C-alpha cells in the first residue's frame, strides 16, 4: 500500500520585508524548520515518497547558501523527494534548479521533475506524472499531457501540478496556470497533488491542495498543513489525513469601535494571544481618551508576547469627551485654543477639521505616561 506525504509552496528564501527587523528573520527561518519537520514526519510515518507540488523556492534569485540549506533541511528523510517547479521557481532554461545542479548539491534521493515525462518508481508501486511550470505564467493546461501518458499496469498513477483548478478557487485567480477539474478522470490518476493555493483544500477524492506547511499570509484558508495520502491499489479511493505542520498561526483581528464595551472586546482578543501568533490588528471607528489609553496598553502587552503584531489604526478617530477635556491641564493660550476647537467641533460635527484638530491637541496634552 503506497503512502505519500503531499506538500507544496515552501517558498524557501522569502524575506518578509513588510515585517520589522526583529520578526522577519524568525518567519524566514521557520520555512527551513518546517521542511525539517516534514522530513521527520515522512520518516516516522514511513512514507514511500514526499510529493512537493511546486514553489519550493521563493525566487530564481535566492542565494547559493539558501539552496544548500534547503537540501540540508531535507536530509531527515532518506526516501524519494519528488519536486516540481512552480511559478516562483519555474524551470527556465537558466533557473534556480540548473544552478543547484551545477553546484552539485542535489542529493540522489531528491528528484527534480523538470520535464513533463513519466518517472517510474516500480519498487514502491507507482509512476509519477509531473506538470512542471517552465515559465512563471502559462495560459494552457500543462497537465493535459497526462491523459495520453502510458504507465505500466499495476502501478499507481500519481500526478503533480501547480496552478489553479478552473472554476473551483476564488473568482479572478483562474487566468494563469490553469488545471482542468476533470484531470484525474481523463488521465486516470489515483492522486493529483496540487500546489499554488496556500491553504489546505480538497477538490475531490483524488485531488487536493496541501497548502503551504508554514502559514505566510493573513488568510483564513487553513494553512500550515501537509496531507498524508494512502492508496491501497490502482483505482482505490485514497485515504487522506491532514497533519498540522506549522509553527506560527497568522491571525487578522478586525474591530470597529463605538462604545466602551468594544474596547473590552479588543483587550480580550489581544490578551488571548500567545508566542506562536503573527497578528495584524485593524482598528476603526472612534474612542475617547480613556479608551485609547486602554488600547495602547493592551497592544503593548500583546506586542511583547507574540511573534509579530502589526497594528493599523488610521481609521480609528480619537473623539475626546467633555470629561476628557475637562481633565486636561491647559492654561493660557492653549486653554483658549482648546475651548475654541471644542466649540467649533460641536458645531461642525465629528468629521469636521476642528474635531480632528481637537483630537490631536487632546492627545498631545495627555500626560506622557498615558500616550501611545
CATH number at residue 204: 3.60.21.10
pLDDT at residue 3 is higher than 90: yes
The whole-number pLDDT of residue 359 equals: 63
Indicate whether 41 and 147 sit together in one domain: yes
| pLDDT class of 317 with cuts at 50, 70, 90 | confident
Indicate whether 126 and 9 sit together in one domain: yes
Indicate whether 329 and 279 sit together in one domain: no
Indicate whether 231 and 175 sit together in one domain: yes
CB atoms within 10 A of CB 7: 28
Indicate whether 262 and 363 sit together in one domain: no
Indicate whether 67 and 119 sit together in one domain: yes
| pLDDT class of 307 with cuts at 50, 70, 90 | very high
| Overall average pLDDT of the 278-297 stretch | 92
The SS3 assignment for 254 reads: strand
| Overall average pLDDT of the 229-256 stretch | 97
* Cα separation, 225 vs 206, whole angstroms: 18
Domain edge (last residue) among 226, 244, 262: 244
The whole-number pLDDT of residue 232 equals: 96
| pLDDT class of 308 with cuts at 50, 70, 90 | very high
Which residues does 368 contact at the CB level (< 8 Å), separation at least 6? Answer: none
pLDDT at residue 365 is higher than 70: no
* Cα separation, 124 vs 76, whole angstroms: 19
Residue-by-residue DSSP string for 181-229: TTHHHHTT-SEEEEES-SS-EEEETTEEE---SS--SS--S--SEEEEE
The whole-number pLDDT of residue 312 equals: 96
Name the residue range of residue 225's domain.
Answer: 3-244
Percentage of the chain modeled with pLDDT above 90: 77
Indicate whether 273 and 132 sit together in one domain: no
Indicate whether 193 and 124 sit together in one domain: yes
E strands, 300-351, in order: 308-318
* Cα separation, 314 vs 309, whole angstroms: 16
pLDDT at residue 90 is higher than 80: yes
Indicate whether 216 and 296 sit together in one domain: no
Domain edge (last residue) among 217, 244, 271: 244
| Overall average pLDDT of the 220-244 stretch | 97
Indicate whether 159 and 196 sit together in one domain: yes
The SS3 assignment for 340 reads: helix
Q: How does pLDDT run across 145-196, given as a tens digit for each residue?
A: 999 999 999 999 999 999 999 877 665 555 689 999 999 999 999 999 999 9
The whole-number pLDDT of residue 318 equals: 80
pLDDT at residue 16 is higher than 80: yes
The whole-number pLDDT of residue 156 equals: 98
Tell me the residue length of the chain.
372
pLDDT at residue 129 is higher than 90: yes
Domain count, the chain: 3
Indicate whether 289 and 360 sit together in one domain: no
The whole-number pLDDT of residue 108 equals: 97
Q: Whose CA is closest to 277, among 86, 30, 41? A: 30
H/E stretch holding 156: strand 156-162
pLDDT at residue 83 is higher than 60: yes
Indicate whether 370 and 238 sit together in one domain: no
* Cα separation, 219 vs 269, whole angstroms: 18
| pLDDT class of 370 with cuts at 50, 70, 90 | very low
Please give the mean pLDDT across all residues of the chain.
90
* Cα separation, 30 vs 38, whole angstroms: 12
Q: How does pLDDT run across 326-348, given as a tens digit for each residue?
A: 665 555 555 556 566 566 555 55
The whole-number pLDDT of residue 371 equals: 47
CA 198 to chain centre: 6
| Overall average pLDDT of the 349-361 stretch | 60
Lowest mean pLDDT among 99-103, 182-186, 319-323: 319-323
The whole-number pLDDT of residue 47 equals: 98
pLDDT at residue 255 is higher than 90: yes
* Cα separation, 363 vs 367, whole angstroms: 9
Lowest mean pLDDT among 106-110, 186-190, 308-312, 327-331: 327-331
* Cα separation, 301 vs 273, whole angstroms: 10
Amino acid at each position: 500500500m503506497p503512502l505519500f506525504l503531499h506538500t507544496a509552496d515552501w517558498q524557501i528564501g522569502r524575506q518578509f520585508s513588510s515585517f520589522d527587523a526583529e520578526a522577519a528573520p524568525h518567519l524566514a527561518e521557520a520555512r527551513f524548520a518546517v521542511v525539517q519537520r516534514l522530513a521527520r514526519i515522512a520518516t516516522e510515518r514511513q512514507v514511500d515518497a514526499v510529493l512537493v507540488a511546486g514553489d519550493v523556492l521563493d525566487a530564481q534569485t535566492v542565494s547559493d547558501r539558501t539552496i544548500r540549506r534547503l537540501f540540508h533541511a531535507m536530509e531527515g528523510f532518506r526516501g524519494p523527494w519528488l519536486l516540481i517547479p512552480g511559478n516562483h521557481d519555474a524551470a527556465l532554461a537558466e533557473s534556480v534548479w540548473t544552478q543547484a545542479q551545477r553546484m552539485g548539491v542535489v542529493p540522489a534521493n531528491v528528484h527534480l521533475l523538470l520535464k513533463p515525462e513519466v518517472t517510474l518508481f516500480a519498487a514502491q508501486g507507482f509512476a509519477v506524472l509531473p506538470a512542471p511550470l517552465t515559465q512563471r505564467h502559462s495560459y494552457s493546461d500543462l497537465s493535459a499531457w497526462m491523459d495520453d501518458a502510458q504507465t505500466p499496469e499495476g502501478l499507481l498513477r500519481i500526478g503533480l501540478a501547480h496552478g489553479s483548478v478552473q472554476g473551483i478557487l476564488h473568482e479572478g485567480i483562474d487566468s494563469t496556470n490553469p488545471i482542468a477539474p476533470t484531470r484525474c478522470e481523463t488521465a486516470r490518476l489515483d492522486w493529483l497533488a496540487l500546489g499554488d493555493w496556500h491553504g489546505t483544500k480538497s477538490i475531490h477524492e483524488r485531488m487536493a491542495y496541501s497548502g503551504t506547511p508554514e502559514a505566510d499570509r493573513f488568510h483564513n484558508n487553513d494553512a500550515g498543513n501537509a496531507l498524508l495520502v494512502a492508496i491501497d491499489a490502482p483505482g482505490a479511493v485514497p485515504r487522506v489525513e491532514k497533519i498540522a505542520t506549522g509553527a506560527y498561526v497568522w491571525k487578522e483581528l478586525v474591530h470597529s469601535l463605538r462604545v466602551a464595551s468594544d474596547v473590552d472586546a479588543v483587550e480580550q482578543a489581544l490578551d488571548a494571544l500567545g508566542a506562536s501568533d503573527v497578528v495584524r490588528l485593524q482598528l476603526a471607528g472612534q474612542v475617547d481618551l480613556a479608551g485609547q489609553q486602554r488600547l495602547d496598553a493592551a497592544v503593548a502587552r500583546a506586542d511583547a508576547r507574540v511573534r509579530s503584531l502589526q497594528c493599523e489604526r488610521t481609521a480609528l478617530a480619537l473623539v475626546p469627551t467633555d470629561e476628557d477635556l475637562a481633565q486636561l491641564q491647559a492654561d493660557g493660550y492653549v486653554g483658549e485654543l482648546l475651548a475654541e476647537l471644542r466649540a467649533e467641533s460641536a458645531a461642525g460635527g465629528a468629521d469636521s477639521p476642528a474635531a480632528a484638530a481637537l483630537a490631536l491637541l487632546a492627545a498631545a496634552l495627555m500626560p506622557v505616561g498615558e500616550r501611545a
